[in-house]
Chains A and B, each alone.
Chain A
Amino acid sequence: MKPKIILEGEQLEITITRLCHQLIEVHDSFQNSVIIGLQPRGVYLAHRIHKKLCEILKTKKIHVGEMDTTFFRDDFRRKELIPNKTNIDFIIEDKNVILIDDVLFTGRTIRAGLDAMLAFGRPNDVELLVLIDRRFSRHLPIQAKYIGKTIDSIESQKVKVEWKEIDGKDRVTLLTDKE
């Protein structure tokens, strides 16, 4: 079966722009808000959104960080995990944090992310933004506030998000077994 394309090129660009406007609606000028992308692949979306927000708001003063959740995961030793870099050069104490990841599936990465984040302070408020929400597949009571696209999928399927920066093109596809 051919992989099903969920989002691609300009469509993806439009979705990101829409997410940015939704963020501005809530966070205004981002004076007290920060963006944290989750490693490994949420960071690309975080940087895209950061760039777009800076363009729209004509500012360069929005904080963006990268956070790795490996050491906080609950499935350590169940599968091979490779730690990535954490790069947060600001304090999140009393800030409104927007956590960003590419795909929301079981919710376990986000749970680890919430734990990992506490090492950098006590935030005032935490919101979750994802590009793809695979609904009805959660293992934990976690929901995103901002969603690029909601899809229905079964557990054996995989959502593959490709970014221009590393994969050469912007594309989201749904893969079925053995693809």
Chain B
Amino acid sequence: MSSLSVNHLLGIKYITKADIELILETAKNFKEVINRPIKKVPSLRDITIANLFFENSTRTKLSFELAQKRLSADTINFAASSSSVKKGETLVDTVNNILAMKVDMVVMRHAHPGASVFLAKKVKAKIINAGDGAHEHPTQALLDAFSIQENLGSIKGKKIVIVGDILHSRVALSNIFCLQKLGAEVMVCGPQTLLPKYIESLGVKVELNLKKALNWCDAANMLRIQLERQDIKFFPSLREYTMMYGLNMEMLDSLSKRILIMHPGPINRGIEITSEVADSDQSIILDQVENGVAVRMAVMFLLAGRMN
């Protein structure tokens, strides 16, 4: 198999295990490319990509932009805060206007779940979802899987726990789909108020005690508390959250085995993990960032391959 089964990357839910494996395998080749003295290849030199960020982003946007530059694609950037969206233009109109300038691929982040699925039905261009509300963030899940595979050898049979604000997290949902498709066991851990109802129906384990969860797993993905999405109080105070669900060195050292620590960023140091843990040798947080560029190169390369 050397081609994806889909024309867009809208979510991990919509792609197959073979697709995920193809992306991770291709990303390995790109990781080698970005570690060369000359880090650029001409694969997408005839492709124009629009980065539409209707919601703020630093890491994902930079990572996508860098990946596009490494592939020699032409890019245009768009931020909702400084655009006609403020004047009342609809999403489809905005995108169609951009596509009229002959754009081949769109990378979009939007605050509404399903925005990219909607767009894929309406416009002629390859769509990559860079996060839609609390729904999916497929490239983050792929780079997390790539980083786990790189550090643990494989994903099949491994135990991964996702800790924190599962309710507001698109990273959590994409990670659950991705890891399960690759044969891992997934657990979620957090205060009851931040775990969605019926999350068990996705086939994940639920644990309320952080220490028990960490003792069970091979790798822990520590999510950020998304205060910007919380319109009501889900827990009494940040200090109490940190005491119950924050990971510190003492807790890490007390575990029965060595586990990997991951974080999708941005880190709130001292809340979900302490600085010591984030900078420890068990943390692969910066590997994740490096791998993000390689994985996004692979996704864009493979989608462009379906553009005949």
Residues of A at under 8 Å CB distance from B? 68, 70-72, 76-78, 80-86, 115-116, 118-121
B204 in contact (CB, < 8 A): no
Interface residues on B, range: 20 to 34
Cβ contacts A to B, 24 pairs, < 8 Å = A70-B29, A70-B43, A71-B33, A71-B41, A71-B43, A76-B43, A76-B304, A76-B305, A80-B2, A80-B3, A81-B2, A82-B2, A83-B26, A83-B29, A84-B29, A85-B32, A86-B32, A115-B42, A118-B38, A119-B33, A119-B38, A119-B40, A120-B37, A121-B37
- Taken together as a complex, chains A and B put the C-alpha atoms of A68 and B32 apart, in Å, by 11
Residue B36 is within 8 A (CB to CB) of chain A in the complex: yes
Would you list which residues of chain B between 179 and 217 have a CB under 8 Å from chain A?
Answer: none
* Complex Cα spacing A115 to B33, Å: 13
Interface residues of B (CB under 8 A from A): 2-3, 26, 28-29, 32-33, 36-38, 40-43, 71, 301, 304-305, 307-308
User: A119 to chain B: which residues have CB within 8 Å?
Assistant: 33, 36-38, 40-41
Cβ distance B44 to chain A, nearest Cβ, rounded Å: 9
Other contacts beyond A76-B43, A119-B33: 9, CB < 8 A? A71-B29, A71-B43, A71-B71, A76-B304, A81-B2, A85-B29, A116-B41, A119-B38, A119-B40
A57 to chain B, nearest CB (A): 29
CA distance A76 to B33 in the complex (A): 17
Assess whether B29 is in contact with A80, with CB atoms less than 8 Å apart.
Answer: no
Chain A hits for B3, CB < 8 A: 80
Q: A160 to B149, alpha carbons, bound, how many Å?
A: 36
Complex: how many Å from CA A177 to CA B194? Answer: 64
Residues of B within 8 A of A86 (CB): 29, 32-33
B41: chain A residues within 8 A (beta carbon): 71-72, 116, 119
User: Are B43 and A80 interface neighbours, CB within 8 A?
Assistant: no
Q: Is the CB of A120 within 8 A of B2?
A: no
5 closest A-B pairs by beta carbon, nearest first, are A71-B41, A119-B38, A83-B29, A82-B2, A71-B43
Complex Cα–Cα for A121 and B296 (A):
26
| Shortest CB distance A102–B (Å) | 20
Contact between chains at A77 and B36 (CB < 8 Å):
no
